[in-house]
Amino acid sequence: MQGLFHGVREYLTPVLTESAFEEKGLLTPEEFVKAGDLLVYKCPTWRWESGDPSCHRPYLPADKQYVVTRNVPCRRRVTSLEQTYQSERPVEGEDEWVAASSYANDNTTSDVHELSDDIGHISLDGNTPSPRIGTTAPSSSRSILDAIVDEHFADTKGGAAASSSPPDLSAFEDDNLVEDEASLGANGYLVANEPDDDDAILYTRTYDLSITYDKYYQTPRVWLFGYDEQNAPLSADQMFEDIMQDYANRTVTMETHPHRPGVIHASIHPCQHGAVMKRIIANLKQANDGNSELRCDQYLFLFLKFVQSVIPTIDYDHTIEVAAKK
């Protein structure tokens, strides 16, 4: 019902013809095509798609209805990131440092202190430092280099005293042979088998990401469709595992893709896209004292970077850096 209502609103909304790129963070269909062309040119993993002919938007070229990138890796769940942030704890002091989760509840710190105490008694310059208060200098307080040299010559002298002449190695030939019938081929040769190709492959979830033009909100809109490690489609609940929980079922909802009828995707709702993009553009210009210019065809590069905050574990953003031109 929600998709039908949005479709009616989009159908009744007139096509934006005047540029509102900097003023409102919006795009015309023509500017969307320009931005898509630059994205496809700079990042070959993206490509234009025409989609289902029955779903073509007349205000867009037939062969440039939306852009898509496929098989984007997603190596871990968002919950692992959130647990990491929650497990950090403050460390005493005025600088408000935090302890990472992996060290929050163990005795690593005390072990490090004990180790540093021992190391503190060892000198590299041959001088023996005075023992610390409350401790006794260990016997290893000599120079590390001296100890290594002494040990080397002690081993050499000991070996020389044990035997005046080197042993005959031929006496050990038969004793050191190990027969492994399983490793021998039919002709008696040792056979080494190559490891399976699958042993070197890390299987992960993957996603297809597509960006369409939303005529009602006059901004791009992101759609996600995921696959598990065996390339089977993910359920809605599984896809929500890869979305920041603050956005799941609110900013991100499950809807039918506008150019793929009957295929349910996770979609990032575009109601705030224009306002966010307006602030990003204004901040970039302000960083250059207002004496700079951003082109509308750079829009999707900025757009993809802020969308990453919603889906941080889907590793799609290999786009170029964007800077305002003076």
Q: Which residues are catalytic?
A: 271
- Residue 34 CB coordination number (10 Å): 18
Residue type, 268: I
Distance in angstroms (rounded) separating the CA atoms of residues 250 and 253: 6
Determine how many CB atoms are found less than 10 A away from the CB of residue 214.
21
- Identify the residue whose tokens are 């403050």: 90
End-to-end CA distance of the chain: 47
Choose among 263, 218, 213, 258: nearest CA to 239.
263
Numbers of helices and strands, H then E, in the chain = 9, 8
Assess contact for 29 and 15: CB atoms under 8 A.
Answer: yes
Output the CA torsion sign for 33, 38, 39, 40: positive
User: Are the CB atoms for 297 and 325 separated by under 8 Å?
Assistant: no
Residue among 245, 287, 251 at smallest CA distance from 268: 251
DSSP secondary structure letters along 24-89:
HS---HHHHHHHHHHHHHH-TT-EEE---GGG--TTS-TT-SEEEEEEEEE-S-HHHHHHHHHH-E
Nearest to 266 by CA among 258, 278, 254: 254
